Chain A
Amino acid sequence: MASMRGIKRRKESVTSTQQITKAMKLVATVKLQKARTRAENNRLYFDMLYNTICSVLAMTGNSDNKYLRENDTAAKAVVVISANRGLAGGYNSNIVKLVDAQNFPKDNTFIYGVGRKGIEGLSRKGYQIHRDDSDVINEPLFSDAIELTKALLKEFEDGKIGEIYIAYTSFKNTVVHEPRLLKLLPLDEDDFKSEDDEAAFSDRLQMNFEPSEEEVLNNIIPKYLSSIFYGAFLAAIASENGARMQAMDSATSNADEMISSLSLQYNRARQSSITQELTEIIAGSEAIS
């Protein structure tokens, strides 16, 4: 039987850990709410952009745009969005696992990391980290997404990389977050066959483009990528905080369980020491009389 003092000490330490996890959960909840509104505000912009690309592509037909064509480089770039901090359940390791499961050749894949935990995980597995933008994920700005897009497109146009992917955690709702890998470039035209309302689409059919379809496409695609990145940053932050909230919630309830079982043990130990003392006193008095 553990000593009473030992049990008491453990109970105290569990209680103080529980206070920390409770506080972390509250912080994550607030951050989650903030990230969610931001992600929703971005949604409108993204949808419009997407529709415009749909209509441009529908107009131009089989365009031989540089962003739609394959270039013959085997090298791949993967933008990996994770968190800078841990204690978020499986959030970071799921992203690392997802990227690792794709069987990208390690020596020919460049990781554009956003978020320290993901970078650490992937470099441990032997991937090359090409760029580290971890500070961005603390407070992402749209200009950060533009910067990242510029850097990637330059490499793409120079033929240093042939394909661009993004790995991030999409935010479905507070409890469901799904790690996702998307191929960004070269763009797949089939992704842009808009299936939504034909009516809205048909007035776009007589669309004119200034200066030209090609120019517009060249201008829009980088913006589209930036907005995907920005949207992914926001979704990732929402998911991170959602994951942390859940992890901390279960940690708090685990701590509750531990505390109740420890207090039970403590009370038993106390009772048994009282019983023992009593038996000793009675035995002692019997021996004297």
Chain B
Amino acid sequence: MAATLELKIIAPEREFFQGPAEFVEFNTTEGYIGVYPKHIPTTVVLNPGILRITNGNEVREAALHSGFAEILGDRITILAEAVEWPEEIDKNRAEQAKIRAERKIKENAQDASRAELALKRSVIRIQLAQKEK
């Protein structure tokens, strides 16, 4: 059995996930990174992306939208402002949000960065929801 990381994902309303993982991937402001045990201590800021937790043959995915992660040797703590499992995603709502965000980007450049973030979020939700089926 390979060495494992102790992964904790904490959202404001609940403890989202706690358990061992051999390999954790997520998106940061610097791009997607993957973390194995014995990683150098690092704190990173998250970008919207798909979180992938690998433990043995089991792979779980979740949509991770914003927050940051603290990697400390064999422990990772992810503080997420918004995080959800694929089964919690409402695909129709995500589709609507995507259309809304696209319109907003077209209409005014002033609020574009916010709309772009919303777009990214909705795209990730849709991606995950599709995989689920």
Q: Which residue numbers of A lie inside 8 Å of B, CB to CB?
A: 38, 41-42, 44-45, 48-49, 52, 55-56, 142, 146, 203-204, 206-211, 215-216, 219-220, 223, 226-227, 230
Contact = CB atoms under 8 A, between A and B. Distances in A.
Contacts of A226: 81
A208 B12 contact: no
Contacts of B72: 203-204, 207
**Can you list the 6 inter-chain pairs with the closest CB atoms, starting with the nearest?**
A142-B12, A208-B42, A207-B41, A210-B44, A219-B45, A45-B10
Interface residues of B, number: 24
Given A146-B81, A216-B45, A210 B28 contact: yes
A52 B41 contact: no
Given A38-B13, A44-B10, A207 B77 contact: no
B113 to A, nearest CB: 12
A52 B81 CA distance: 15
Interface of B: 10-15, 28-30, 40-45, 67-68, 70, 72-73, 77, 79, 81-82
Given A208-B42, A209-B43, A215-B45, A45 B11 contact: yes
Contact of A207 (B10, B13, B43, B81): B43
A219 B10 contact: no
A230 B12 CA distance: 8
Contacts of A52: 43, 68, 70, 79
A41 B13 contact: yes
A263 to B, nearest CB: 50
B29 A208 contact: no
Contacts of B29: 210-211, 215
Contacts of B67: 223
B13 A210 contact: no
Nearest to B82: A142
A208 B40 contact: yes
B42 A44 contact: no
Contacts of A208: 40-43
A67 B77 CA distance: 24
B43 A216 contact: yes
A123 to B, nearest CB: 31
A33 to B, nearest CB: 16
Nearest to A218: B45
Nearest to A210: B44
Nearest to A215: B45
Contacts of B12: 42, 45, 142, 227, 230
A227 B11 CA distance: 10
A222 B44 CA distance: 15
Given A42-B12, A203-B73, A210-B28, A48 B43 contact: no
A44 B81 contact: no
A102 to B, nearest CB: 29
Given A52-B70, A146-B81, A223-B67, A206 B13 contact: no
